[in-house]
């Protein structure tokens, strides 16, 4: 590990030198690439420098204990020694985590797809509530949310909704939300006061660029039509809605949220690229069974990951055994504690897997 850290330290110094060269700023593509590498290495290098400083403090404190006769100074040296030893242990663990292989999609924007499952109207109502939960969470990070397609029901629920969250590190946090979310509560339409259980599915996909996924024109059919919906300018007056059909996979995407046909077409292609990229990622996950088992719920869409129990005001994440009694706050977007716990459990599983191998 320390040989690798020394190599990374050398590479970081090289990057700093390259970025100071006058011709680099003129080459935007090279500049962005170097800056990204520098940003990725900075937390590792800073932690390693602090680790080396703490190790040096240990040596200095031991030398002082050997040489110094003054009792007060010896006590100070002992205190410094204990503090530095504790910090070295912390930094060793931190560095192991920082050196874990990084998910190449972590810095990408995400496309989130929520679908009502078992439970009829109640599932559709919960789908709309989870959609709002994610919007509030995104807003707390100052991420941009853009709705791509949706199908509402008359009582304020959603059969399905697809939206993009744009922001630094969006996928690194949101990827732990993929799976089946279960709600337990008394529906407003239930006269007998019985608790019902409904489900929704959440799929979180990294946004795919054109360089990630190539779509052959002959594999696509594009249909344009008039948008349908509740009022609004341009609805039922222009052919602005776009439907894409991808023959090889059978994926059909309908986009009508924008007034412009061009904008709807761009959204539809962005969603199609994400879905095709997601299929490729799923294949890779399946091929790497061991790696998949070491992850915390980022692959299996059929996995029941969380239960929201309204009568008891609790939310339980089944993957990590976490139960929180603050359902109201969570439904208002306060899900960071759950995500942090998933990240920590995922890192611990990966560290354990690396040690076994």
Residue pLDDT, tens place only, 61-109: 898 888 777 788 888 888 889 999 999 999 998 898 888 888 888 888 9
Residue 135 to residue 312: CA distance in whole angstroms: 24
The answer to whether 105 and 206 have CB atoms below 8 angstroms apart is yes
pTM of the model: 0.75
- Domains of the chain in sequence order: 2-98 (1.20.58), 108-357 (3.30.70.1660)
Question: Where residue 208 falls among pLDDT bands split at 50, 70, 90?
Answer: confident
What is the average pLDDT across 232-252? 72
pLDDT value of position 287: 57
Residue pLDDT, tens place only, 304-319: 899 999 999 999 999 9
Tell me which range, 25-29, 117-121, 139-143, 220-224, is most confidently predicted by mean pLDDT. Answer: 139-143
The answer to whether 137 and 112 have CB atoms below 8 angstroms apart is no
Strand partners, 179: 202
Mean pLDDT of the residues in the chain = 84
Cβ neighbours of residue 17 under 8 Å, at least 6 residues apart? Answer: none
């Amino acid at each position: 590990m320390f040989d690798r850290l020394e190599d990374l330290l050398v590479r970081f110094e090289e990057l700093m030198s390259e970025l100071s060269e006058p011709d680099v700023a003129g080459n935007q593509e090279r500049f962005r690439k170097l800056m990204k590498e520098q940003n990725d290495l900075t937390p590792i290098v800073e932690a390693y420098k602090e680790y080396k400083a703490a190790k040096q403090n240990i040596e200095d404190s031991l030398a002082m204990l050997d040489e110094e006769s003054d009792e007060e100074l010896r006590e100070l040296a002992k205190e410094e020694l204990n503090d530095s030893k504790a910090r070295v242990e912390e930094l060793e663990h931190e560095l192991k985590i920082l050196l874990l292989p990084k998910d190449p999609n972590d810095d990408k924007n995400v496309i989130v797809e929520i679908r009502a499952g078992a439970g009829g109207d109640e599932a559709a109502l919960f789908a709309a509530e989870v959609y709002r939960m994610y919007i509030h969470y995104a807003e707390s990070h100052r991420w941009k949310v853009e709705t791509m397609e949706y199908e509402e029901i008359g009582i304020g629920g959603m059969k399905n909704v697809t939206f993009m969250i744009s922001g630094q590190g969006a996928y690194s946090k949101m990827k732990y939300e993929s799976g089946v979310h279960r709600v337990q509560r008394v529906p407003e339409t239930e006269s007998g006061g019985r608790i019902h259980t409904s489900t929704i599915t959440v799929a979180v996909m990294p946004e795919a660029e054109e360089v990630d996924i190539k779509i052959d024109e002959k594999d696509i059919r594009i249909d344009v039509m008039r948008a349908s919906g509740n009022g609004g300018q341009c609805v039922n007056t222009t052919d602005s809605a776009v439907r894409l059909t991808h023959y090889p996979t059978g994926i059909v995407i309908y986009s009508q949220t924008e007034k412009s046909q061009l904008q709807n077409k761009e959204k539809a292609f962005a969603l199609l690229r994400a879905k095709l990229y997601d299929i490729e990622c799923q294949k890779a996950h399946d091929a790497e069974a061991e790696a998949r088992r070491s992850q915390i719920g980022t692959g299996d869409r059929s996995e029941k990951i969380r239960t929201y129990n309204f009568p008891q005001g609790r939310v339980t994440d089944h993957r990590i055994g976490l139960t929180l009694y603050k359902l109201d706050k969570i439904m208002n977007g306060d899900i960071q504690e759950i995500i942090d716990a998933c990240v920590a459990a995922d890192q611990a599983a990966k560290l354990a897997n690396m040690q076994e191998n």
